[in-house]
Chain A
Amino acid sequence: MPRRKTGAAIPEMFRLMLEKPTTEAYPFKPIQLPQRFRGKLDIDPAKCTGCQVCALVCPASVITMVDLGTRKVGDKELKVRRPLFDLSTCIFCGECVDNCAFNALELTKQFEIATPNKAELLMNKAIVK
C-alpha cells in the first residue's frame, strides 16, 4: 500500500511552471487548423447543374431549390433550378459534399461565422449572376 501523504502533486507543479503555457494565443495570433477541418460551406456556381441531390440528403434542411425559369433543350422546355443555402442551421456534416456528383460543394476552413444578422448567412451564390 503506497504511503499516504499530502502534496503529492507539488513536484509536477514545479515542472509545469517551466513549460510554456497551454492556452492558445487566439485571437491575437492565428490558430492552427488541421487539414480536414470542417468549416463553412462554399459552392462553385459554374459547376452546379441544379440536380437537387444536395437538397434531398441534407439532414438539417439547409438547402432549398429556387426556380429560375426554363430553358430550351431540343424541343422540350426544362426547368432551371439552383440551390439557396440557409447556413444558420448547417451542422457541417458534409453529406452534400459527398453526394454532389459535380464536385461543386466544399467545406472551407472558415469558422468565424457568428453574426447578429441572420440574413448574412443566406448563401445565394448559385442564384445571383
Chain B
Amino acid sequence: MSETITQLGKYAEEASSKVTSLRKNESLVEVSQDSLKKFLAHLVNDLHVRHLMTITGLDLGQNIAITYDFSQERDTIHVRTTVPKTKLVALSIVDIVPGAILYEMEVHDMFGVEFIGNPWKDQKLLLPEEWPDDLPPPLLKTTKAEQIRKRLGLEVVKR
C-alpha cells in the first residue's frame, strides 16, 4: 500500500469512513455530502492528488451516487457520495478543483443533479435545447429509450 493511501486512511477516519481497497491499486472512500469538501481539500492540498480524471454518476435505485475519480502515479482513488432522488442537490467542488466544471455539467444533464456553486449550472452541455422539462434525465434506469423517442418525435427503424 503506497504512502498516499496510508495517509488517506487517516483523513477518511476524520470523515468517519474508511478506505476500501478494490482490485489492483484502486481504492474507494465513501463520504457523506457534509464531509465531502473537507475531505477533498485534504486530498488536493495536503496529499497533492491534483489530477481529477472524471466525475461519474450512478443510479442506485433510491439514490444517485456521484464518484470523483482521482489519479496519482499508480493509484486510482474513487471518492463516492450519494444524494437521494427526492432531493437532487449536491455541492460543487469547482473552488477546490476548477477542472471539474464540465464534468459536473455532464452529471447534471444526464442525472438531473444540481450542483450548487457551479458557475454554469443552468446551462446544458450535452442535451439539446429543446429537451422538454417533463422528460426525465436520460441515464436514469427508469427512463427508457422508447419513452425518449416518443416524446422527442423520433422515428425508429424496425428490423
Chain A residues with CB under 8 A of B159 = 61, 64, 86
| A61 to B156 CA separation, bound complex (whole angstroms) | 14
Identify the A interface with B (CB < 8 A).
Answer: 61, 64, 86
| A86 to B159 CA separation, bound complex (whole angstroms) | 9
| A61 to B159 CA separation, bound complex (whole angstroms) | 8
Interface of A is mostly: strand
| A64 to B159 CA separation, bound complex (whole angstroms) | 9
3 cross-chain pairs, A with B, having the tightest CB-CB distances, nearest first: A61-B159, A86-B159, A64-B159
Instruction: Give the Cβ gap from B74 to chain A, nearest Cβ, in Å.
Output: 34
Chain B 138-159 interface residues, beta-carbon cutoff 8 Å to A: 159
Chain B residues with CB under 8 A of A64 = 159
* Binary CB contact string for chain B from 88 to 109 against chain A (1 if under 8 A, 0 otherwise): 0000000000000000000000
Instruction: Give the Cβ gap from A84 to chain B, nearest Cβ, in Å.
Output: 11
Chain B residues with CB under 8 A of A61 = 159
| A34 to B153 CA separation, bound complex (whole angstroms) | 45
* Nearest neighbor of B157 in chain A, beta-carbon distance: A89
Instruction: Give the Cβ gap from B26 to chain A, nearest Cβ, in Å.
Output: 29
- Complex A-B: 3 CB contacts under 8 Å: A61-B159, A64-B159, A86-B159
Chain B residues with CB under 8 A of A86 = 159
| A61 to B157 CA separation, bound complex (whole angstroms) | 12
Instruction: Give the Cβ gap from A86 to chain B, nearest Cβ, in Å.
Output: 7
* Binary CB contact string for chain B from 123 to 149 against chain A (1 if under 8 A, 0 otherwise): 000000000000000000000000000
Instruction: Give the Cβ gap from A77 to chain B, nearest Cβ, in Å.
Output: 29
| A64 to B158 CA separation, bound complex (whole angstroms) | 13
Instruction: Give the Cβ gap from A55 to chain B, nearest Cβ, in Å.
Output: 12
* Nearest neighbor of B159 in chain A, beta-carbon distance: A61
Instruction: Give the Cβ gap from B16 to chain A, nearest Cβ, in Å.
Output: 46
* Nearest neighbor of A61 in chain B, beta-carbon distance: B159
| A3 to B44 CA separation, bound complex (whole angstroms) | 46
Instruction: Give the Cβ gap from A85 to chain B, nearest Cβ, in Å.
Output: 12
